[in-house]
Amino acid sequence: MRYRLVIFDWDGTLMDSAARIVACMQAASQDAGWGHLEAAAVRDIIGLGLPEAIDRLCPGIDAERFELLRNRYAYHFVEGNAMPMPFFDGVEAGIAQLRDHAERRLAVATGKSRRGLDRVFHDNACGAWFHASRTADETRSKPHPQMLEELLVELDVPVEEAVMVGDSEYDLEMARALGMDRVAVTWGVHAPERLAASRPSYTATAVTELFEWLN
């Protein structure tokens, strides 16, 4: 067993949700009167907490419009957009393989809100896959490492026995700040060259490759 604790990012790592996030953020921006947001700009902020994402996408936005945009994003993501968000092919089988080791712990560290993550857990009947999770609204947003620090304490695993898996530099830099091993996956939102700057312990180019390496 390579690691006793495997911590996953969610969007763009386990779930193919980037297109829906982009569409909902673009719609929310229009609703709030901010105007058009380029898809590439929205993809770039996936992984951050929503407040941090809005600040980066909409520099100088006033408080009233900020709240409107945030509320409209939540509306579109939950109710106004029916775009499917499947797991990437091979994720469910790969998680099952990791769970075959009773002593291994699995966790999620995500830019989603607690409400959003719990909804996804419920809709996909996957909450029981994980022993713990942290969301951006109950701790500090990536790339600050606080959510990883809290997961290590909760699950009583030393940093050298844990690994962070993610598709963005925010995931990798969060782990790097703690000296934690980190795995980059190239099927998500940030380009391989950008991920390489965070010096990942391993770079996976396919889902099956990722889980073979983790096992």
Residues 144-196: pLDDT tens digits?
999 999 999 999 999 999 999 999 999 999 999 999 999 999 999 999 999 99
Q: Which amino acid is at 131?
A: H
pLDDT in tens, 8-67: 999 999 999 999 999 999 999 999 999 999 999 999 999 999 999 999 999 999 999 999
pLDDT in tens, 113-146: 998 999 999 999 999 999 999 999 999 999 999 9
Q: Phi and psi at residue 44, in whole multiples of 5°?
A: -65, -30
User: What domains does the chain contain, in order, with CATH numbers?
Assistant: 5-16+86-214 (3.40.50.1000), 18-80 (1.10.150)
Among 104, 99, 77, residue whose Cα is nearest residue 15: 77
| pLDDT at position 1 | 83
Among 125, 43, 91, 80, residue whose Cα is nearest residue 214: 91
Q: What is the DSSP string of the chain?
A: ---SEEEE--BTTTB--HHHHHHHHHHHHHHTT-----HHHHHHHBTB-HHHHHHHHSTT--HHHHHHHHHHHHHIIIII-----PBPTTHHHHHHHHHTSTT-EEEEEESS-HHHHHHHHHHHT-GGG-SEEEETTTSPPTTSTHHHHHHHHHHT--GGGEEEEESSHHHHHHHHTTT-EEEEETTSSS-HHHHHTT--SEEESSHHHHHHHH-
Under a CB-based contact definition with an 8 Å cutoff, are residues 29 and 69 in contact?
yes
Rounded to two decimals, the pTM is 0.94
- Calculate ∠ Cα 109-111-115, nearest 5°: 95
